[in-house]
Every structure is written in C-alpha cells, then in structure tokens.
A and B are shown apart, each in its own frame.
Chain A
Amino acid sequence: MDMVTIKINGLSYRVPAKSTVLEAAREAGIDIPTLCYLKEINEIGACRMCMVEIKGARSLMAACVYPVNEGMEVFTNTPKVQQSRKMTLELLLSIHNKKCLSCKRSGNCELQKLCSDMGIDNENRFAGDMPPAKYDASTAYLERNNSKCILCRRCVSACQNQAVAVIGTNNRGFDTQIGCAFEMKLNEVACVACGQCIISCPTGALTEKSNIQPVIDAINDPDKHVVVQVAPSVRAGLGEEFGLPIGTNVEGQMVAALRRLGFDKVFDTTFGADMTIMEEASEFIHRVKTGGKLPMITSCSPGWVKFCEHYFPDMVENLSSCKSPQQMTGALIKTWYAQKEGIDPEKIVSVSVMPCTAKKFEIARDNQSAAGVPDVDYSITTRELADMIKMTQLSFNRLPKEEFDHAMGVSTGAGMIFGATGGVMEAALRTAADILEGKELEAIEYNEIRGTKALKEATYNVAGIEVKVAVVSGLENANALLEKVRSGEKEYHFIEVMCCPGGCVNGGGMPIQPASVHAEYDLKALRAKALYEHDKVQTVRKSHHNPVLKQCYEEFLGEPGGHVAHEVLHTTYVKRSK
C-alpha cells in the first residue's frame, strides 16, 4: 500500500495515501466529530462538523472528504476549529425540535452526544423561525418527523443504495425538507419498507411505527393467549441495546425476558425457517422436474418481495410461493398449535420480534391468514423489544438463560443461519441435496456462499444435476443481478435475495449504532458470525431433521408441498407500480 507522511497536531504519522484526513486521524487515535458521514453510505462533506485546519489551506476543510497528501499538516483542535464546530451545532439546534426527553433516540442520538461533547451551553443561541414540522406516518412501518431532521442526507443515501430512491431533498435553503416527490406520502410511492433509512438516521427524525402498546394491551388481557416468535437475527443484536459487545448471542436471556414480559408461549421463528426450507426445497425440486419457472427466487425477505413487485413486476412468478418464516410460524401457531392445545385461533394474539420493519408491512398482506385470522397480529422490531425490556426494568444481563417452548421452539442450525446473507441458500442446499441424493451428506458447509460479499455465485452438483445458484444482499446488488437475469446475460436455477445489505442481521429493525461504530466495525459480519457459531454447535443442522417439524408434517401438514401445506404455508404476490 502506498503510504504518505502527514502531521496531525504536530506529530508525524505514516498513513495510507488513499485515506481521507478523517480516516488518517482516527487511525492515529484522534477522533474528529462527524454527523453526515456514514462510512461507505454517505461521504459528502455536507454538515461541516468535521472541519479541520490544514496548513496552507484558505479555510477550514471537511476532514471526511479531504484526501491526505505527503507533508500535509492538519490541526484538529485549534480554537478556530472548536468555534466552528460549536457554531455548526448551534445553527442546527436553531431549527431543531429540542424535546429530547421524550425523544425515542434520547441517549442514542448523535446530535445530542455532540452537543454534550462540544459543551453547548445555549441551545437557543440562534433562536428564530422554525421550518414547518413535516410529519409522515402513512405506512404501517415508519414515522418521519422532520422537526428532528438535521438534513444530513444519510437516509437519502441509504435509500439510493437500496436502488429505491423514493426520498430526497426537496426545495432549497430554509425550506429544504427530506420527503418524497410532489410531497407524496410514503405509502403513495414505491418504498419497500426496508428501514435502512431508520438505522442510518443520527437523530430521532426516523423511527419505526411502534406496536408496543397493542402488544402490552394483549398481554394484559386475560382472555388472550399471547404467543411470541423471535427471528434468528434478533438474538445476535439485542445484546447491543444492553451494552454487550456486537455479535453477542443472547438467545437464553432473550427467551427469559420474553417470559417475564408476560408472553404465554415463546417460540422460535427458526422453526418456521426450517419449515420454509422444507417447502422451498420441495418447490424447487418440483420446478426443476416439471419445467417450472426458473430461476426460483427466495421470498423470505418482505422488503425484497415488495421491491420485486414494484420494480420487477414481470418476475413475480419467479418468487417462491412460500410464505416467509415469520408467516409460516404465525400460520402454524393459529392452526396446528391452536388445534393441538384446543385454543380458539380468534383468542390467540400472535406477535413476532423481527430485525425488520418490512415485517410490519408483510403481516397485512393478502393471503397471510391461514386460519381466517391474520397469521401474525403484531410485528415488533429488535429495538421495540429492547424498549419493552427497559420499560419493565428487567436487568437483562443478569437474566438466566432459558429455552424456547418446545411446541415450536425446536430449531436447527440451518434455520439459525437464515439471518445472514447466504444462509437461506445454504440451509436449502443442505436439505435439497439430501433429498435428491437420497442419503445423508456429510459435507454441509457451503463456504462459497458465505460472507458479506455483494454477489456470491456457485455451481453445485446435486444428484447429477448442475445447480447454479446466486446469493445477493442489498437491493442495489439485487437490482443489478435481476437486470442481468432478465436480459438473459446470467442464468441460474436458484437465487437467494435478502433486502438489507448483509442480510437480516443488518435489518432496518436492528439496534442503531452511531456512525463512529459503523466506521470501526463491520456490524453485519460480527452479527452473522454469532449465527454461524450457533449453527456449528447445534446437534441438528439440517431442517428436515427437526423433530418437531417432522411431527408437524405427520400430524397436520402431510407432505411438503402437499395440499394442506399449500393452504397454510404458501401465498401470492401482486404487481405494483414504480
């Protein structure tokens, strides 16, 4: 690597020639505050928080975009720099809704932290006119409160990175607001509900639409049987909300917390994931054998499904008809479980905890009501679960490790890795290969499709058939791949798409980490590692060996892909406009 020598605050450092002043300074252990900077997503030098003095430069420079060069002398903490940062904050505060005490992001707000760090002592120094407080709660999954917006554009970049780009900066100067074209509401545009904007937001301008209250009401209603299911990724992220290192698996404490919150049964969505594999593998084999529509594309990720419906309506038939693991688990709770336990499905309240905001949209889709009532009644995010735990003042880190309820809490390693990009494909291959070969295969780790690379491709020989697979995460990558599939440039049999970059572990409902943490750690890799390690120590690692799942097919569903399975576990899609 080419290196250059620069001086920061009078000391010499050797730094990579391609780094920015910000990267070089952080490498040297000198932090420079930022607001609009979000590594690899938003590097535009807009907010002017990271200003530094550079010897010979006419004015202060934005460290996040200023490249280093040989002999450069940088000063990060001069009175001029300090004064500039302070004034930038005071100006931001002049149009900011400063009701911090009741803000969802209080304690985890980058603006709040900077004001504290920089010693802001008068939040009303530039008090004056306030722009109109635009507010959008038109969807089931998101709330935008522009009175908390600092116009950093991180959400806009996140949306563009997802090839969706339905939000942007409208008007100019004092009138600038983040919003949709022609001031449409979010439910009128082709938003896919991924929530990447939410986890990019440094303040409280963007939050998920909360479903905590109806869940608490259901728990407190003695007539309701409240069942909760938890997605694999939640256990790999929830600990962050309680100060644990990124990538800590907190499955046991999480189950204990859910019981103490008052849920009657605590189930694992991983069970639904195993079910998805059975159905998806059998659908895939069926498509291959009968000349059905290929490539088959996974349908577990509701953000991806909505994207496909809006942007590739001609390809919705390529989507697997399988419901997502959340919906399969929900459907089986209100059918099989309800029958077995003799509970009226109408009295069951089915709650899911998801790393995802699009799940809030998915629960209200058509053909997601196997028992004539919605498969899932409320979907809450990992963050909302953390909020519920905090509200009840549970000492999360001191809770004992407990196990899921047996009825639908037995899972496999295959179901566990659903949370990471490549996981669904690997789980499906573990099962499909066994079924097609007609024997137990020992080699079950498909390393070619693991990792956070944008696109992974592989060809596997399964029972004499060449199966070409592709795995993508992040909709920009999915968009590029699908264009190639559409044009015939690329041919596959089976494609796994996850909406969020890196998969569900980086979902829009996961704990929000500040930009400084994003710059230092690869969140998606660390969280995914927790899932793969969990898979490794499982005694059962293939979906078709899940004992409860076998029981469910024997007692209730019949054959995978059979009539009952179809009624309960499969769904339909629609074509939507762009």
Chain B
Amino acid sequence: MQKRISTLPFNDTPEQAEKLDAVIQGLKGQDGAVMPALHHAQDIYGYLPLEVQRKIANGLDVPLEEVYSVSTFYSQFSLTPKGQYHVSVCLGTACYVKGADKLIEKLIEKLGIKPEECTQDGKFSLTACRCIGACGLAPVLTVNEDVYGRLVPEDIEGILAKYAG
C-alpha cells in the first residue's frame, strides 16, 4: 500500500529538535547514514514528517527525495504520527479468515480515520499489521501493549471506550 502522508500540523519540542540535531551530527559524512538517521528520528518523533526529513536531508547533505524514497520503501517507517493509543489490527492469514477486515471497517467507522492515520485530537491512530503470532486468539488487535482476541465487530465500541476517557 502506498504510504499515507500526515496532514496534521507538525509539533516539535526543543528537546526533540536537539536530539535530532545530535543524531545528524553523529552520522554526518558517513556512508549509508540515511537509514540510521530515519530510525532515530522515528524514535524521537514517532513518525517522519516533511519537516523532519528535510532536516535530515539538509544535515546529511543528501537530496530530500532520496530520504523520502528510503522512508517509503521500508514498512517500519511511518509518515503519519501515532496517537496516544495506537490501534493495530492483525491482518495475518488466520486473523484475516476470521474476519479481521470487519474489525478494521468498524474502527474506520468509529474513529473516522483510515489506516495509517491519526485522529485530529491525537488520541487514536490506526494501522493494519502483519501476523503478530497470536493466531490462537484470531482475530486479534492491540492497543499499545494491550492485546484483545477472539473479537467480533460489536466488541470495538467497548474497547475504544476504555481509552476514550
């Protein structure tokens, strides 16, 4: 799937900016610096918006397009922010045949966002992930570290309510 690009405003704290500057300084002049820079940047910001990628490009003196190209090639890089609660629906084979797609549909409806997006208030983000190895509980989803299994679409509302408060 083509990577979604966040349309939410980028908020950057001085601490985050300082951390990224230090990362770039440490990698400057090295071959293949783009990948580690993106890894660190994603750790710092949770995602890789234009502002962050531009800073990496300018700092490492590589074209922005090259940075973007790498960030859209690898699935672990995200161009959309994660919410306070990150809902991840397993779309592995077992979960899929047990109706995980219906869970996603329900989440799209309830949260008003598509996969790889974040709600305006920054509370929830949604993603569809590969097999997480909990096939016995299929279909399964996680909210941050919490795992919910053997779900039906009607369970979604109750799960979200736990975090909405």
Contact = CB atoms under 8 A, between A and B. Distances in A.
B1 A181 contact: no
A171 B3 CA distance: 7
A156 B53 CA distance: 20
Given A175-B1, A182-B50, A183-B5, A167 B73 contact: no
B6 to A, nearest CB: 10
Interface residues of B, number: 16
Contacts of B63: 160, 165-166, 168
Given A181-B53, A182-B50, A172 B73 contact: yes
Contacts of B58: 578
A169 B50 contact: no
B5 A168 contact: no
A180 interface: yes
Nearest to B74: A172
A397 interface: no
Interface in A156-208: 160, 165-172, 175, 177, 180-183, 189
Contacts of A172: 72-73
B120 to A, nearest CB: 20
A182 B68 contact: yes
B65 A181 contact: yes
Nearest to A164: B63
B2 A168 contact: no
Nearest to B75: A172
B143 interface: no
A476 to B, nearest CB: 13
Nearest to A167: B65
Interface centre among B2, B53, B58, B66 (most CB of A within 10 A): B2
B137 interface: no
B65 A166 contact: yes
B117 to A, nearest CB: 16
A565 to B, nearest CB: 40
Nearest to B67: A181
A130 to B, nearest CB: 14
Given A181-B53, A182-B5, A183-B5, A170 B66 contact: no
Given A166-B63, A171-B73, A181 B68 contact: yes
Contact of B65 (A168, A171, A175): A168
Contacts of B2: 171, 175, 177
B1 A170 contact: no
A146 to B, nearest CB: 12
Contacts of B72: 170-172
Contacts of A169: 69, 73
Interface centre among A170, A177, A183, A578 (most CB of B within 10 A): A170
B33 interface: no
A510 B2 CA distance: 35
B64 interface: yes
Interface string B65-88: 111110011000000000000000
B62 to A, nearest CB: 8
Contacts of B50: 181-182
A181 B64 contact: yes
Given A181-B53, A181-B64, A168 B1 contact: no
Contacts of B1: 175
B71 to A, nearest CB: 9
A209 B66 CA distance: 26
A160 B1 CA distance: 27
Nearest to A170: B72
Nearest to B63: A165
A170 B5 contact: no
A181 B2 CA distance: 13
Nearest to B79: A182
Nearest to B3: A171
A180 B64 CA distance: 9
B42 to A, nearest CB: 16
Contacts of B5: 182-183
A168 B69 CA distance: 7
A170 to B, nearest CB: 5
Contacts of B53: 181-182
A86 B34 CA distance: 37
Contacts of A165: 63, 65-66
Interface in B1-48: 1-3, 5
Contacts of B69: 168-170, 181
Contact of B68 (A160, A170, A175, A578): A170
Nearest to B69: A168
A326 B53 CA distance: 39
Interface in A127-176: 160, 165-172, 175
Contacts of A189: 64-65
A183 B63 CA distance: 14
A166 to B, nearest CB: 6
B66 A168 contact: yes
B74 to A, nearest CB: 8
A280 B68 CA distance: 42
Nearest to B68: A181
Contacts of A166: 63, 65
Contacts of A167: 65
A39 to B, nearest CB: 23
A484 to B, nearest CB: 16
Given A171-B72, A172-B73, A180 B3 contact: no
Nearest to B54: A181
Nearest to B70: A168
Given A181-B53, A182-B5, A182-B50, A168 B68 contact: yes
A164 to B, nearest CB: 8
A155 to B, nearest CB: 12
Interface string B114-158: 000000000000000000000000000000000000000000000
27 contacts: A160-B63, A165-B63, A165-B65, A165-B66, A166-B63, A167-B65, A168-B63, A168-B66, A168-B69, A169-B69, A170-B68, A170-B69, A171-B2, A171-B72, A171-B73, A172-B73, A175-B2, A177-B2, A180-B65, A181-B50, A181-B53, A181-B65, A181-B68, A181-B69, A182-B50, A182-B53, A189-B64
The 7 A-B pairs of least Cβ separation, nearest first, read: A165-B63, A181-B68, A168-B65, A168-B69, A181-B64, A175-B2, A181-B65
Interface of B: 1-3, 5, 50, 53, 58, 63-69, 72-73
Given A165-B63, A166-B63, 12 more contacts: A160-B63, A165-B65, A166-B65, A168-B63, A171-B2, A171-B3, A171-B72, A175-B2, A180-B65, A182-B5, A182-B50, A189-B65
